[in-house]
Amino acid sequence: MFRQLSTLFNLYSPEAMDESHDDLCRHETRLATAALLVEVARSDEDFDRTERSTLLGLLEREYGLSQVECGALLDLAEGRVEASISLDEFTRLIDRNFSPDRKRHVMELLWRIACADGRIDKYEEHLIRRIADLIHVPHRVFIQAKLRVQEQLGGGVLG
């Protein structure tokens, strides 16, 4: 009985509440990032297998999730994108919770999705520029992220 009460009180301790808040924040920022990746993949109205596969691979590497967990995160992100009316709900979380270096990294992830099909569509580029503005990424960092990804991919991506 004492052990059960102790366990119950530990669930509501400040430390446990902080951990659960941190977990929730981490989950929400992952979901927001995944949703922005989905937005970019869909922006050229051709969310093909290559882009989907690239997106799943990025989520797996970024977050250390299993393929099943990545699929669930992607499904959830797609649902959120369908239900959203603007980018604000996603960009606000990233802007508030990410350092400038993590924001730069998000830019690189977005460019990777845009480059997945071998070319950067004007709608993809425009959307990534809007996202950069909303998360307060300087234009210089926006361009550097694009060039870095193109270089890593062999420079063969047009856009």
CA 4 to chain centre: 39
What residue segments make up the domains of the chain, in order of their start?
A: 10-152
- The Cα–Cα gap between 148 and 109 comes to 11
φ, ψ of residue 65 to 5 degrees: the values are -95, 155
CB count within 10 Å of CB 144 equals 15
116-134 pLDDT, tens digit each: 888 888 999 999 999 999 9
Contacts 24+ apart (CB under 8 A), 59-64: 59/34, 62/33, 62/109, 63/30
CATH class, range 10-152 = mainly alpha
pTM value is: 0.83
Higher pLDDT: 28 or 157? It is 28
Residue 76 pLDDT: 95
Higher pLDDT: 45 or 14? It is 45
What is the SS3 assignment for 118? Answer: coil
Residue 156 pLDDT: 61
49-71 pLDDT, tens digit each: 888 898 999 999 999 999 999 99
Read off the pLDDT band of 159 (50, 70, 90).
low
* Of residues 143, 154, 63, 69, the one with CA closest to residue 111: 143
Higher pLDDT: 39 or 15? It is 39
